[in-house]
Chain A
Amino acid sequence: MAVQDRTGNKYEQLLAHSIQALGYEKDAESGLNYLHPSKRPKEVVIDGTYIQPDLVVKNSRTVEAVIYVTHWSKSRNCAFKYWRTWEEQAQQRVVLEESFISINSIFEALPEGTEAQIFTKTDQLPIDTKRDGEWPIAFRGWYPGTTYALIESFDVTIAFPVGYQPVKEVVNYAIGQHDEITTKLLKTSLSAEVKPWLDGQWCILKEIKSLIGGLVNFENLQNTESRYRIGLLHVYLFYRLFSKLVAKDVSLEKFVKTLAENAKFESDLTKLTKKEPFSFLTEEQSDYFFDLLASIYVRSGKNPIMFCEIKDIELRGKTLTKIEFNKDLRLCLKDLGEHLDQDGFVNAMISAFNRYDKLNGVEDALLDLANPELVKKKEQFVRNKFEPLLKNPNKIAELLEQFASVESDDRVEIAPDSQNWILEMLIYLTKLNPAEDIYVRLTSEFEKSGHSVWNHAPYSDYAKILPIALQGIDLCAHWKPNSKKITLTEPEYKTLVWKAIANSICNAFEERENNFEESALIIKRYQEVKARRIISSDLNGFEILIEHFLGDICYLSFVDDSDEAKEALKARIRPTWQTEVTKSLWNVPALETWLEGVSKNGEWLIKVQSAQDGNEGHKTKELAGRSRAMQLEWNSGKDALDRKAWSFKRIEIPKTALVLDGDWSSLKKKNLYEAGWDWVGDVSQLSELRTLIKKSD
């Protein structure tokens, strides 16, 4: 999920004050002026584009510059943000006649306490002293390759340090006041030159956009509203848990059919449980099962979503119980209900569910959910072992290390799960929050030993230590065998990790003056986490449909593992010109696009994309950006650093199809088509795609 908050507005305000200070008047129709438009997506101030710009600097009606305001904190998915920002520029370049300066202002990008700076080329970045060799630094929250691509693909990049003080002061600025440093940087940026070597790409993209207008009738585009990915995860949890409770083989087809017919909106639960297969449940099982489902938070946060809601109303000894499943499940059931009768469809579901079963921890989670007595035992075990020792971190560390082994007799006797339920229960028992209580202490506790966390933690990320410990994975599984930076042996590292975790838990427990949690609440929390483990997994049920409709004519990454398929599927990894640039300049290939399928005739590439909770807007920008970039070939000339020699041409690639799941408006689809996707549709249109692929044989 994108990291975006209201702070963005403060960054824009800071820049807007500086633009005013440079003599630009807001919303004026003549002279130097600028726009700082509302973020409402449908009132985009630049005609023909889909993304509201942050700030547009103009001279009369001519756009002089567009300012992109960015901040990001999660390196892991910084590519998403890159594509969104680049797509915004691409859209504007494609529709605007004038050649404007693109100014990308990136906040929270440089180390705290440093000065805000302008970059136009990656060579200007300081060298990263933490890395071996001559590598430029990466911005905070961005990977190196993405950082380099950012700088190379915009005319000017203004990077601000973490916690830039004037941003905090901006709310108190009266008219006329501004941050002088920002103003100076903006002044320089506005007088910078447009990079002529980037121009070639825009002409190609303009042509792609103009051609698509003649091929696709945009008037006929329909909105998509489907929930295959998230919905199938609901069905999986529901079905597997049900089967475990009734301890018999239940027909998936019958199960889905009954639900699809009876779960439209509010349903009478008593009536539902009289229908097969739900009639297999005893009254006690039924109460437990549906109460458990109703207690599952599918999404937590400000507007939590439950798996289902159960309402009772009692009158003079009679009770009416009604159940309402959440929208994701309802929409999915509706769609599944429409496909159930098709040949092979149920088998595709079954094989997808079998794949889910293999995911680490899923089987354990299902057992825990189906067996409350087992969870009670686990809770009692942890309480008995650990409660008396909370003032003795050394002993706790010893026990944690002992029980961390899946062969630990005591642990196996209760439950042979691969997941480290002992550590998990301990966290709930002490009422601690991993992020606030344990992560923040872990580094210092570890480094008291004199060894560096950075050098030992998985992927050099201390925040990954605890999740790996909880998943029951070998703590050293991610070590590189010959790394020179590792200063501990494996046993030493493991002991130290358990000691650091134990110290963090004991100290936090003491500082917070916590009491031990009640058993019932621990069990509830434990089960909620297990359910969410399944619901929020990366498994994509949406792929069932792709496999069903296209499996015989396409190689699909989530299905095929034959050598032939592996070879063919290499074509699904598409480098972009940004990949080539970052590779040529700094040997860091970045920003490739991975698709999910290749047609067996080699004529089509298939991308599947599921999104939810309004994230479709971000995904549209990203996918549009990726599509545009995939179609551009970059040539560097003899020396990649000689940017004046750069050139672009259109690259011939197979046709690209994008299959969507979630809420996608026709406008978003139009944006995607204009960006170069050859086919954009949803599950209900897969037979159409199938015909197109077959036609291209």
Chain B
Amino acid sequence: MAVEVSSILALAPSKTLTDLQVAYKEEIVGDETNLLISAPTNSGKSLIGEHCLLQVLKAQKIAILVEPLRALAQEKYDELSSKYKGTLKVSISTGDYRLLDEQYTNPPPNGELIIATPERLEAIFRNPKAQPWIDNIGCVVVDEAHLVADKFRGATLEHLITTLKCLESKPRGVLLSATIGNVEKVRNWLEPCQVVSVEKRYPPLHKHVIALSETDNITEKVVEWLRTVLLQDQKAQALIFVYQTKQTEALASELTKAVADICGEAGVLPYHSKLSSQQRNENRELFISGASRVVISTSALAMGINLPCTHVLVRDLTFQGASNPDVSTLLQMMGRAGRGNIEGHAYVLCKPSDDWQPEVLQQSLDDEVLPDFKSVFEVEEDWRNTREDDVATIQVSAYLSRKGDVGATQQEIELFFQQSLGGQYLADNVAGALTWLERHLLAWNEDGNFKLTVLGKKACLSVLPLPLAYGYTNLLRDLMSLDDSDEVLKEWQPLDHIIALNLLHDGIPNLGRFSAKLESIVDAWAEKQSQNRSSEVPLLFKEWLRGKKDYSKAIEVFGSLNISIPKQGKQADEWARKKGYQATYAAAILQERSLGVSVPRIEKQFGVKNLAGVEERWRDDMLWLLAGLSKLLDIRTFYFHLVEECEASKERIKRVKGLLKKQQRQIHKLMEQIKYCSALGPLIRDMQQSNRGKAGVGIQTIRNLEDGGIESIAQLAKLSLDEIVSMGVRRDITEKISGYIRRRRV
């Protein structure tokens, strides 16, 4: 590393420091204690974080910047890798399976400064083999650290910080947080810890409440506001928050028409979670370049959005069916207004039907009562009502994973959780979590010392949902008990993995409700599969799921997968049947897509809508799950069951081992297809592997071949070199492909 870090001033691009940075420079003694930086948006926290990170690189230590979202991590990576090009190895590690070939719990292979998400870093900590890497961490900067209170991500973030705090190597922890009212609490938690806290916003943020009357048309009011803002200042750019994703699209379209003359050539753009990351990046670039002057986003993205603007409008104060935004959430959105030295202006529309009275809201916004830094477990919510396989169980298993073969007693685990911010809840639930893990064959108790089983270790290291890992392997165990000839394992189809995952995982997108039409589409698809020589009907569907009402045996699969059914009797049978059809429907769609069938064609064929909007995340989820699943399919996972329950002979164990390997290969092939959405995906993977990642064959090669009508490796094998080149593939790459195919006798 050849970056000057003696003073933060050396890092500041304009060689001037903000008030916060001055305070940091003057007040912070030494570079070893933990640090809390509490300040509003735009006050220069990031540079302080950067300074802390760079300081440890001198000592050959690893520096890690934790960003809460992948998109933010990517932005930060782009910024820092460009800033330190040639002087510093910056790498990103977010566990994005579509983009990166990394094992989720392995440390990233290189990089002095690593940008990671909390989930990714927490996963690495689960891996006992990563200990030398962990011991070498010098500093971890956690951006947006106040998100420990976040309902969805807070628990992981808190667990991560607690883990860092308890590491023997004591890396420096630096928390960058929005302004908070209780810095002492954090100081005590992270002791020894120094604090720099600034409350005043710079540049100033002007907050306004626009009171609407019963007769006001809201869209007209938005148009009126926007027109005024855009006309007043040629450089003004606005960000409008609404509460529903679908409304971003609708409003963007309406506003583009209404202010077409002044909103920029790209029009008013939507920015929400259902856009693909590519679309989001494009829209972001268009906004930053000024081609668009207005972006409509959802309040859910308020934290993850980095779109510098001058004006913000919060359109909705009432969220139907969800909890309404509180003052700190509103301030989070409004705080996006203002950039550099330009003052921000933020507005909230207050309707008579909203819970707020305009003057009270204005007062609350002006008072800007500072939120507390608190654990998600302290937030008003009854955590005790959560399921047994809840966050406590996940975190206990993560802790045991880190302990490897040494294991830990209940008391040791409780002591660890007592070190966390609000983790007394977790400490109280350790006993229940351990029972759950034991019951689901994920952990075992050796005279009071708890250790993960092979299944538990593999599930944890793959960061698989624990009920999923148990459910899937339980199904296989049942089949092993039932079928001592292992014919079922032999007949297992790639799509069986997908169907089972669809049934087990909550995050699979809902592609359509069950209907007679969906049922007939699935039946017709299965019929077609059975007629097609190269494909077969998935076994799960053929043996259990298929069938009209009262004829399907879907419920049996649900029993083996250990999925609880919210119905009783005949209703339970029908519920399971419908879910079985939906899972098969989704699996069929994913298969088509992974083979390279275009989204519009699939949408037409299967009658599904908005596949493009959900596909990217779905594929990413599926790749994560499949990667984990392939790890579970190891003879060691089933050895005890085979020996103790099935009384299996050595020959049978050997046979099962071979069949599980075959399933692993199925999964790897499936993953390549899903990754590239092409039947040619496995070709890339194999060639990359045999050339140590330097085959030169990439997604563009695949797209060129597909454009030339090639849909399988077999078709490709029949082409001459010239024919491949004529499709736009470079000759040297063509030769490599051809040679590879010849050697592998494809």
Contacts and interface: CB of A to CB of B under 8 A. Distances in A.
Q: Do A and B bind each other?
A: yes
A315 B357 contact: no
Contacts of A266: 474
A265 B553 CA distance: 24
A312 B360 contact: no
Given A268-B645, A315-B488, A320-B478, A42 B425 contact: yes
A42 B424 contact: yes
A477 interface: no
Size bin of chain B's contact surface? 20 to 34
A38 B384 CA distance: 14
Given A315-B543, A318-B482, A174 B553 contact: no
A536 interface: no
Q: Which of A42, A174, A223, A313 has the most CB of B within 10 A?
A: A313
Interface string A299-325: 000000000000111111011101000
Interface in A11-54: 38-40, 42-43
B559 A43 contact: no
B428 interface: yes
A409 interface: no
A43 B441 CA distance: 34
A188 to B, nearest CB: 29
B560 interface: yes
Contact of A314 (B380, B424, B435, B556): B556
A308 B431 CA distance: 22
Nearest to B379: A38
A49 B60 CA distance: 48
B479 interface: yes
A225 interface: yes
A597 to B, nearest CB: 28
B557 A313 contact: yes
Interface in A32-84: 38-40, 42-43
A313 B384 contact: no
Nearest to B438: A265
B360 A311 contact: no
Given A268-B645, A313-B556, A40 B481 contact: no
B560 A313 contact: yes
Contacts of B27: none
A311 B482 CA distance: 13
A264 to B, nearest CB: 8
A695 B681 CA distance: 78
Nearest to B372: A27
Contacts of B378: 38, 40, 43
Interface string A316-359: 10111010000100000000000000000000000000000000
B730 interface: no
Interface in B394-434: 410, 422, 424-425, 428, 431
A426 B606 CA distance: 53
A268 B428 contact: no
A247 interface: no
B439 interface: yes
A328 to B, nearest CB: 13
Interface string B374-396: 00011110011000000000000
A111 interface: no
Q: Which of B383, B543, B557 has the most CB of A within 10 A?
A: B543
A39 B383 CA distance: 11
Contact of A268 (B355, B384, B481, B556): B481
Contacts of A319: 482
A312 B378 CA distance: 42
Contacts of B424: 42-43
Given A315-B488, A614-B384, A665 B482 contact: no
A215 interface: no
B483 interface: yes
A311 B562 CA distance: 9
B377 A40 contact: yes
A265 B383 CA distance: 25
A174 B357 contact: yes
B377 A312 contact: no
B154 to A, nearest CB: 14
A314 B553 contact: yes
Nearest to B560: A313
Contacts of B440: 265
Contacts of A174: 355, 357, 360
Nearest to B488: A315
Interface string A644-675: 00000000000000000001010100000000
Contacts of A175: 357, 360
Interface string A348-392: 000000000000000000000000000000000000000000000
Interface in A263-287: 265-266, 268
Contacts of A315: 479, 482-483, 488, 543
Interface string B466-510: 000000001000110111000010000000000000000000000
A614 B478 CA distance: 34
Given A225-B431, A614-B384, A665-B428, A311 B559 contact: yes
A528 to B, nearest CB: 12
Contacts of A318: 482-483
Contacts of B441: 265
A176 B359 CA distance: 12
Contacts of A311: 556, 559-560
A312 B559 contact: yes
A79 B560 CA distance: 47
B556 A312 contact: yes
A223 B560 contact: no
Nearest to B441: A265
A313 B559 contact: yes
A313 B482 contact: yes
A667 B645 CA distance: 41
Nearest to A324: B439
B209 to A, nearest CB: 14
A314 B553 CA distance: 9
A320 B482 contact: yes
Contacts of A314: 553, 556
Contacts of A40: 377-378, 383, 425
A322 B481 CA distance: 11
Contacts of B360: 174-176
B412 to A, nearest CB: 14
A42 B428 contact: yes
A156 B428 CA distance: 36
Q: Which of A43, A174, A667 has the most CB of B within 10 A?
A: A43
A38 B488 contact: no
A42 B440 CA distance: 29
A663 B543 CA distance: 43
A223 B481 contact: no
A352 to B, nearest CB: 26
Contacts of B357: 174-175
Interface string A246-276: 0000000000000000000110100000000
A298 to B, nearest CB: 15
Contacts of B560: 311, 313
A175 B362 CA distance: 13
A665 B428 CA distance: 7
A10 to B, nearest CB: 15
A327 B553 CA distance: 28
Q: Which of A39, A40, A614 has the most CB of B within 10 A?
A: A40
Which are the 4 A-B pairs with shortest beta-carbon distances? A311-B559, A42-B424, A313-B556, A265-B439
11 contacts: A39-B380, A40-B378, A40-B425, A42-B425, A174-B355, A176-B360, A311-B560, A315-B482, A315-B488, A320-B482, A667-B428
Given A38-B379, A42-B424, A313-B556, 19 more contacts: A40-B378, A43-B424, A174-B355, A175-B360, A223-B410, A265-B438, A268-B481, A268-B645, A311-B560, A313-B557, A313-B560, A314-B553, A314-B556, A315-B482, A318-B482, A322-B478, A327-B435, A614-B384, A667-B428
Interface of B: 355, 357, 360, 377-380, 383-384, 410, 422, 424-425, 428, 431, 435, 438-441, 474, 478-479, 481-483, 488, 543, 553, 556-557, 559-560, 645
